[in-house]
A = this chain, B = another copy of it.
Amino acid sequence: VPAQPLAFWFDFGSPYSYLAAMRVEGLAAARGVRVDWRPFLLGPVMAALGAPVSPFAAGGPKADYLWHDVARTCARRGLGWTRPSQFPRDAVLAHRVALHAADQPWAGDFCRAVMVRNFVEDREIGSRDAVAVVLASIGQAPDAVLDASTAPGLRARTDEARRLGVFGAPTFVVGGELFWGDDRLDDALVAAAG
């Protein structure tokens, strides 16, 4: 059975999307699976499902647990981690650039660099300046990329997530089957490798 692509649906504000973004490309390559980067806006998707507040932002024992779980998972994997002082961070422009970059060989580099800026460096990722700094750091010409990233495709992508049944991030989709959460990446890759 030939390998199927793995669609990686993620949001730059999502801590578990950070965990998955940092490892998805390496693990997929090891199995001969192509990663399709699928940035979308988790907020509108969750709001439409009656969950307007991220469980990370809702407070209480579950939020405490989730922050702890992400931190200890980063420690175990040797990933940097700083709990963002602002959560969730606005990142619409970064999502637009990721959408534009999805077919480029530097898509993974860009997405990981945005994640590191948010979840390791604890710096804002919403402004044009911030996205330009990230682009320059991976060797891309900021103005050229930003000018090419104005196409209105992000809303359509977010609607597509809803049609697929996505309700959280990260979600991996392989041949129409959903795998929710960084914990399901291995299962998704097994399904994709065929």
Contact = CB atoms under 8 A, between A and B. Distances in A.
B183 A61 contact: no
Interface of A (DSSP majority class): helix
A62 B167 CA distance: 6
Contact of A61 (B65, B165, B184): B165
Interface residues of A, number: 20
Instruction: Specify how many copies of this chain sit in the oligomer.
Output: 2
A69 B183 CA distance: 12
A21 interface: no
A146 interface: no
Interface in A136-184: 165-168, 178, 180-181, 183-184
Which of A49, A50, A65 has most B Cβ within 10 Å? A65
Interface of A: 49-50, 60-62, 64-65, 68-69, 76, 165-168, 178, 180-181, 183-184, 187
